[in-house]
């Protein structure tokens, strides 16, 4: 069964960092890019960036450059999204999603709720 | 950055209705790179349509996509109760960011 399973909910203080994991199974891990998308409660979807698990290459949305780092560990088929210098408006659900080259994000993780509060 | 504008914001419809959702881009989007997602409360988005017209695996044929350039549509030929949800378009190609529209909510009348 092809799936992405994310780590659990996090509560962080402003200024801290959070690291969310996304474990892939059921398909060749290095064959597909993984994207990260966030959704502020009650709002729409915002693309954050992608990682190529094969090469480790990344590309981030300009908004997140300098605050997000995406990494991967091929030995455990897992990618990570590290978001630093958290602010209250980073409170959101963070999703990882598989991005095949034929278009669209076809498999999504279940989402990780990150709450930033003092 | 390509801005996608979806209309209308909310639609109140009944099961059995036919509905067409609009997604307009601020600049031309290659047909290969326009996708549609469905999201229900408390769930992750689900891929419905990729490359403008192609249904994803397991998507019923009452869902169809069309369009080109800057104007794209998602049509649901006959609404089922499980279709009431939020629908997002996304452009996924060329230079990032891979932006989403703001969504159209289908609610039961």
**Which residues on chain B are in Cβ contact (under 8 Å) with A108?**
44-46
- Do B106 and B87 form a contact (C-beta atoms < 8 A)? yes
Please state, in angstroms and rounded to a whole number, the distance separating the CA atoms of residues B96 and B34: 13
Q: Which residue in the block uniquely carries the two structure tokens 């044929």?
A: B61
Retrieve residue B19's tokens. Answer: 């509905």
Nearest residue of A to residue B105 by CA position? A44
Q: Is B13 exposed, middle or buried (0-12, 13-18, 19+ CB in 10 A)?
A: middle
Nearest residue of A to residue B40 by CA position? A42
Smallest Cβ–Cβ distance between A109 and the set B44, B54, B102 belongs to B44
pLDDT tens per residue across span B56-78: 999 999 999 999 999 999 999 99
Å between B86 CA and nearest CA of chain A: 10
pLDDT tens per residue across span A3-48: 999 999 999 999 999 999 999 999 999 999 999 999 999 899 999 9
Cβ separation B98–A46 shorter than 8 A: no
Residue A103 has a pLDDT of 80
Q: Which residue in the block uniquely carries the two structure tokens 């009452």?
A: B62
Residue B107 has a pLDDT of 97
Cβ separation A61–B103 shorter than 8 A: no
Cβ separation A95–B33 shorter than 8 A: no
Please state, in angstroms and rounded to a whole number, the distance separating the CA atoms of residues A70 and B60: 35
* Strands, E assignment, B40-103: 46-50, 54-55, 63-68, 71-76, 86-91
Please state, in angstroms and rounded to a whole number, the distance separating the CA atoms of residues A4 and A85: 26
Angle in degrees, CA B93, B99, B100, rounded to 5 = 120
**Which residues on chain A are in Cβ contact (under 8 Å) with B51?**
102-104
Å between A66 CA and nearest CA of chain B: 16
pLDDT tens per residue across span B3-49: 999 999 999 999 999 999 999 999 999 998 999 999 999 999 999 99
- Do A46 and A37 form a contact (C-beta atoms < 8 A)? yes
């Amino acid at each position: 069964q092809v799936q992405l399973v994310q780590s659990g909910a996090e509560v962080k203080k402003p200024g801290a960092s959070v690291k969310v994991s996304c474990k892939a199974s059921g398909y060749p891990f290095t064959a597909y890019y993984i994207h990260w998308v966030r959704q502020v409660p009650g709002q729409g979807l915002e693309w954050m960036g992608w990682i190529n698990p094969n090469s480790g290459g990344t590309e981030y949305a300009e908004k997140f450059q300098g605050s997000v780092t995406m990494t991967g560990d091929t030995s455990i088929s897992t990618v990570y999204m590290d978001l630093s210098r958290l602010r209250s408006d980073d409170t959101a659900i963070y999703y990882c999603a598989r991005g095949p080259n034929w278009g669209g994000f076809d498999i999504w993780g279940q989402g990780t709720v990150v709450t930033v509060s003092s | 950055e390509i801005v996608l504008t979806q209309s209308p914001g909310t639609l109140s419809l009944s099961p059995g209705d036919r509905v067409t959702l609009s997604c307009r881009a601020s600049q031309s989007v290659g047909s290969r790179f326009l996708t549609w997602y469905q999201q229900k409360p408390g769930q992750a988005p689900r891929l419905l349509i990729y490359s403008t017209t192609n249904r994803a695996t397991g998507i019923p044929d009452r869902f169809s996509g069309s369009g080109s350039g800057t104007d794209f549509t998602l049509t649901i030929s006959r609404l089922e109760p499980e279709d009431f949800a939020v629908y997002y378009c996304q452009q996924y190609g060329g230079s990032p960011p891979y932006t989403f529209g703001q969504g159209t909510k289908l609610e039961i009348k």
